[in-house]
Structure 1
Amino acid sequence: MNKKDLNSAKTACFHLIKFRPRSEYELRSRLLRKGYDKEIIDLTIAELSRIGLIDDLAFAKLWVESRIKKPLGINRLYFELKIKGVDKDIIEQVINEYGSTQKEEEIVRDLLKQKLKRLANLDKKKIKNRLWGFFLRKGFSKDIVFDVLNELK
């Protein structure tokens, strides 16, 4: 193990974290792509975790807080965190804190009101099809979207 490589790996991580918080998986992946040894990566991650710069729970909370303003559904948030390499248990914990089907339904209803204004000149079937796709791409539950769209007159 080379002290120079360890410092270089830490510097690379600091550079990435400077722009936005990162999950452990993201940092490991970046260091691997840059060609660092597994031992150097493990030591770097351990050190950054010890000093609190890598914390997947805090990362997941920040990610959900920032993305929930978009607004996005629970499924999309889950998927994004999974891609970032966050552990399934952490994802479920964070999503349970921030999301509920009741909240999700309120968001769908609010977005529906906004979207209906823009789609008013289309026929009912086309409106429903576009809204269905829109809500699913945003990560909302199929059941909630189905129920809300069925209430459309």
Structure 2
Amino acid sequence: MKITKISKTGSKYKLTLDSGEVIDTYDDVILNNNLLYSKRIDKKLLEKIHNDTNYYRTYNKILNLISTRLRSEYEVKEYLNKSDINDNDKQKIIENLKQIGLINDKAFAKAYTNDKINLSLDGPEKIAKNLKKQKIADEHIKEALNNIDEEIIKNHIDKIIEKKVKINQKDTITFLKQKILNYLITQGYQREMVIQRLENYPFIKKDLTEEMEKIYQKQLKKKDKNFKSKLKAKLYNKGFSIEEINNFIESKNI
């Protein structure tokens, strides 16, 4: 079997064989297999050309993937597992990318953390959880989180508190604080810091008599012998204080 023509098309090369077969391949495949000087190939070499081409095709896809943003070793392995190259070639790609610094979980942890801190309102614990999903080593996660400016975290918490206050005008302060606390914890913020920021936030006490009246009217439709105790429980669960509840019930002569 003989190569009748080698032509360059963009960043690739096109091999034309006398059998009519055309192979789109890469310069590394041409050089590694000495195809510029040796035009005759046997079945064994042809198979190697196909395997090498597949390897460099996958390798270049990984490079394109990494060019959009840094990738963890786990992400690259997951991508490679979907390819049809053998395990030895998969490991070879991983080791090569590590050697040239394109796979570096320590750098990935730092970059990921910086992005989340600057471009989202995710808390440190949520960031750590997501890094663990990427199989990042604990020491890299710890180092990345330790570099976060605490003032930025406090500012994030304050922004979320302010937003929640604006969209929850009908809640009592007690109920709203608990709601915000629960939400911020799910977003990865430490309970102690959230409580501290909530205590420092200038909540404005609102007249929620109208809201109590709505609850009262709703419960009134289901009035029974336990009406008073059920009303108290409902108001208490909504965050009203015992004093507020007793004053309201007294005003209704219940």
Q: Could you say which TM-score interval applies, normalised by the shorter chain?
A: 0.7 to 0.9
**SS in structure 1 at match of 2:147:** helix
Structure with larger Rg:
2
**Residue 146 of structure 2 aligns with which residue?**
96
- Equivalent position amino acid for 2:188 in 1: G
Which residue does the alignment assign to 1:73? 123
* 4+ residue segments displaced more than 4 Å: 150-153
Alignment pair present for 1:85 and 2:146: no
Q: Name the residue aligned to 1:64.
A: 113
What is the percentage of aligned positions where both structures have the same residue? Answer: 22
Q: What is the Cα deviation at residue 132 of structure 1?
A: 2.1
| RMSD, matched Cα | 2.4
Q: Structure 2: how far apart are the matches of 1:99 and 1:137?
A: 20
1:28 to 55, 77, 91: 77
Write out per-residue CA displacement over residues 52-79 of structure 1, whole angstroms, 9 at most, x where no aligned residue.
2112122112111111021221101101
Partner of 2:59: 10
Unaligned runs of 5+ in 1: none
Structure holding more strand per residue: 2
Aligned to 1:37: 86
Q: Distance in 2 between matches of 1:12 and 1:130?
A: 46
CA contact (8 A) 2:73 2:104 kept: yes
**Which structure carries more relative contact order (alpha carbon 8 Å, separation 6+)?**
1
Output the TM-score relative to the length of structure 1.
0.83
In structure 2, relative to structure 1, the CA distance for the partners of 1:38 and 1:151 (3 Å cut) is same
Q: Contact 1:26–1:85 at 8 Å: present in 2 too?
A: no
Segments of structure 2 that go 5 or more residues without pairing to the other structure are 1-47, 204-254
Distance 1:99 1:84 in 2: 23
Give TM-score scaled by structure 2 length. 0.53
**Whole-Å separation in 2 of the counterparts to 1:135 and 1:66:** 19
Aligned equivalents of 2:66, 2:183: Cα separation in 1? 32
